[in-house]
Structure 1
Amino acid sequence: MDFLDVPTVLQVSALFNVVAALAWLGLAQVFRIAPRASRLMAAGHLLRFATHGCADCMADWPDVLRQGVPELGLLGSMLLLVMALRRMLRSRQRPHDLQWLGTLGALGIGAGLASGSGLAPQLAGTISTSALALLAVREVARGLGPQRSRLIALGMTAPFVGLALLGLGHTAELLFTPGWEDHVRLGVLPTPQRAVLWFVVTATITLNLIALMIWRLIARIEHLTHRDPLTGALNRRAFERALTDAQAQLQRGRGFALAIMDIDHFKRVNDGHGHAAGDAALQHCVRVWQRHLRAVDRLGRLGGEEFCVLMPLAQPGDLAGAATVAERLRVQLAAEPLEWKGQPLTLTCSVGVALPSEGDPHGEVGLVRADAELYRAKAEGRNRVCVATPLTADPVS
């Protein structure tokens, strides 16, 4: 790489950190995309620029500052990066591990500076940075999980793995290469290859995290498109699409059942406690039901206080199994009152259950029959489950 000189690479890296910081601030302040995570990323880039952006500026500094500031800056920027990454991935991991790594790294750098060693501060900073990079690999692997393909997960973790390997390689150099302490004391610049490699890895990490933010934005848009904004259940259009898909699978022996649920005396909640209580009641019902549904079950809000569950069945005509699930949802809702302004507010629901009909591409027959059973449940006194008798055209077990 004779065509490259290290000062130019370092200047490009400094410029990249400034531009990246501005980009993250734009995401936080203008677009309001994960503002806390974006601000942490911006702070990390600015810290990196402030402590590594001008090697010549530090030429006349005392050795203790010239050696310590870059190492502490690198450690701080990595801590900010992992904190931001956890916010992006909505990790529930407590920050104790970051606190320990940051504290031990800073103490190691400080002890190395106090000892007068040229290698010890850099060694402590490099080991800490490598540990944080490996921690970031774990966070990405856990955070993406089954939501993304293995190829995407590999692409997201690769630059963090590369950063950890670079750190471990540099650790080996510090420990086993003769004369390296003189390089550190004299402030000898890295080779062009090393400078370019570090820049590529760190820039790739930033670009990957921006891609992660875009993925999060797309997921948020999809959520708003398919979900009821108040309760988080599927909206009517999304539920009807899921019902159409389920009807298409019916011909292949993949049966399902429909359970339409209506909150009893919901108007009394609104009239007696206000619309805020009504909204809280709807949200409470969905939370209770979701806890007692399987991942494959689809809960949708049809409108007002009326909801519907699409339940795939192991046996196409298992109406008794579907009725059991509906009964469990009814019982659990009655058993878990809504706490409203310090007072328990008991909610109940009426449920109508029906199997779908073949030759009904949009599932309208199944919905009408389940709805009829819902009205029968209300007529018979509410807070109960009524089940439709299977049609002769319905699949039977």
Structure 2
Amino acid sequence: MDFLDVPTVLKVSAVFNLMAALAWLMLAQTFRVAPRAARLMAAGHLLRIASQGCGECTAGWPLLLRQAVPAFGLLASVTLLTLALRHMLRSRQRVHDIAWVGGLGALGIAAGLASGSGLAPQLACTAGVALLSLLAVRDLVRGIGGQLSPVVTACMTLPFAALAALSVGHVAALLLLPGWGDHGLDGEPPTPARVVLWFVVTAGITLSLIALLIWRVISRIQHLTYRDPLTGALSRRAFEQALAEAQAQLQRGHGFALVMIDVDHFKRINDEHGHAAGDAALQHCVRLWQAGLRAVDRLGRLGGEEFCALLPLAAPQDLPTAMAVAERLRATLAAQPLHWKGVELPLSASFGVALPATDDPRGESGLARADAELYRAKAEGRNRVCAAPEFHGLAAA
């Protein structure tokens, strides 16, 4: 079909990459959405325009330039897209592997150009693109595989997997088909099928990263909705929802305990050192407590310096285990003071532990009993754990 001739598809691809670059720049500069990743994406799209070639328009270029621009441009474009993906995933993995693949690929291209070979630069570029694509697939699987459904994960990794497959196929053609590496060097345009495939893969990668960005924004909104912005603990609303879910599971024999926590003499910290020190103290407490809890445990901030932990239990009446956890949290905080602007601020907290009632769908009765034990711990001298109803307070060591 005439509208799918190679020059037309190349122009459409160039326009698409240009519009995508402008859109990513707008996200970075105007809306400040993932700015670093968005800038990398914009640069990758602009380099893709330079690397895709335009058939007859390069026929008059020197041979060295006709080889260098597509090879370096494509490798740099995919390197930037892979870096953008890792930034968008907020991966803690360092970028040494990407830098090594991109750097070795560039060295291979340069060495091939210096030797006068028409095959070596293409091999180095395409092999580098294949490896970078596989790194992107691995990063996506690790970054979203446990948080999104297998179908969604597969759809988002498919464009990168397709790019890897195309690159491997191109490497095989370069090695096995005589004269394959000479295509494009004499001004001959690429085949329509290849141009269309590359355009589809490029568009797919862009759509995949847009979907990833949307997921990241949604996750951020959910985090702001369900997390306390200061400490990172669950918000009161999120904790109440978790408590209601735990109460529903209680009918099926899945027990839990509630541990009410209140930081001792918190007002004194604010009065003597300022509210910034108070905020730092709350963050310090939550950081220590979160480190001492399991992944299935839930810690929520109910307001001010008051927190509550929801501890799933192996046995519904296993109050001693809940008390042991509370005592460990108490001792950890007491042993690790906050260091604030050169001043050591000792911190402690009081704990009240209670089991829930089965006829209490919202968990209000269990919270009230745990709160009563918390007040008893404070009345008995603070920095201790009290439990209801069978157990008595554990005095601080």
**TM-score (ref. length: structure 2):** 0.95
Cα deviation for residue 41 of structure 1 reads 0.6
Which residue identity does 2:243 align to in structure 1? L
Distance 2:83 2:117 in 1: 31
**1:119–1:184 Cα contact (<8 Å) kept:** no
Distance 1:385 1:322 in 2: 10
1:26 has 2:26 as partner: yes
Larger mean Cα displacement after TM superposition, 207-216 or 4-13? 4-13
Mapping of 1:184-333 within 5 angstroms? 184-333=184-333
Distance 1:181 1:314 in 2: 65
Where 2:183 maps in the other structure, the secondary structure is helix
Structure 2 partner of 1:149: 149
Where 2:262 maps in the other structure, the secondary structure is strand
**2:56–2:189 Cα contact (<8 Å) kept:** no
Structure 1 partner of 2:52: 52
Which residue identity does 2:352 align to in structure 1? G
Distance 2:195 2:333 in 1: 61
Structure 1 partner of 2:395: none
1:69 has 2:69 as partner: yes
1:359 has 2:359 as partner: yes
Cα deviation for residue 2 of structure 1 reads 6.6
Cα deviation for residue 60 of structure 1 reads 2.0
After superposition, give the CA deviation of every residue in 1:315-354 in whole Å (9 maximum; x if it has no partner): 0010111000101111111112212112322211000000
- Structure 1 stretches lacking a partner, 5+ long: 392-397
Where 2:375 maps in the other structure, the secondary structure is helix
After superposition, give the CA deviation of every residue in 1:344-395 in whole Å (9 maximum; x if it has no partner): 222110000001112111111111111111011011110000001169xxxx
Superposition RMSD on alpha carbons, in Å?
1.5
Which residue identity does 2:59 align to in structure 1? A
After superposition, give the CA deviation of every residue in 1:205-226 in whole Å (9 maximum; x if it has no partner): 1100100000000011111111
Which residue identity does 1:29 align to in structure 2? Q
After superposition, give the CA deviation of every residue in 1:234-290 in whole Å (9 maximum; x if it has no partner): 111111111111111111111111000000000111111110000011111111100
Which residue identity does 2:163 align to in structure 1? L
Distance 2:222 2:181 in 1: 54
Distance 1:157 1:383 in 2: 51
Distance 1:3 1:370 in 2: 72
Which residue identity does 2:106 align to in structure 1? A
Which residue identity does 2:326 align to in structure 1? A
Distance 2:120 2:2 in 1: 31
**1:40–1:83 Cα contact (<8 Å) kept:** yes
Which residue identity does 1:44 align to in structure 2? G
Where 1:15 maps in the other structure, the secondary structure is helix
**2:55–2:190 Cα contact (<8 Å) kept:** no
Structure 2 partner of 1:344: 344
After superposition, give the CA deviation of every residue in 1:141-167 in whole Å (9 maximum; x if it has no partner): 111131111111111111111101100
Number of residue pairs the alignment of both structures matches: 391
Cα deviation for residue 183 of structure 1 reads 2.2
| Pair 1:178–1:2, CA change in 2 (3 A) | farther
Cα deviation for residue 51 of structure 1 reads 3.6
**1:140–1:153 Cα contact (<8 Å) kept:** yes
Which residue identity does 1:359 align to in structure 2? D
Structure 2 partner of 1:96: 96
| Pair 1:321–1:181, CA change in 2 (3 A) | closer
Larger mean Cα displacement after TM superposition, 293-302 or 137-146? 137-146
Distance 1:267 1:145 in 2: 44
Mapping of 1:117-132 within 5 angstroms? 117-132=117-132
Which residue identity does 2:121 align to in structure 1? P
**1:248–1:361 Cα contact (<8 Å) kept:** yes
Which residue identity does 1:281 align to in structure 2? A
Distance 1:339 1:83 in 2: 37
Where 1:185 maps in the other structure, the secondary structure is coil
Distance 1:389 1:145 in 2: 44
Distance 2:12 2:339 in 1: 57
Cα deviation for residue 3 of structure 1 reads 5.5
Which residue identity does 1:259 align to in structure 2? V
| Pair 1:116–1:194, CA change in 2 (3 A) | same
Where 2:231 maps in the other structure, the secondary structure is coil
Cα deviation for residue 114 of structure 1 reads 1.2
**1:352–1:370 Cα contact (<8 Å) kept:** yes
Distance 1:197 1:248 in 2: 52
Which residue identity does 1:340 align to in structure 2? W
Q: Percent identity?
A: 70
Which residue identity does 1:374 align to in structure 2? L
Distance 1:198 1:52 in 2: 9
**2:58–2:187 Cα contact (<8 Å) kept:** no
Larger mean Cα displacement after TM superposition, 175-184 or 156-165? 175-184
Where 1:339 maps in the other structure, the secondary structure is strand
Distance 2:104 2:68 in 1: 15
Structure 1 partner of 2:394: none
Distance 1:191 1:283 in 2: 60
Structure 1 partner of 2:111: 111
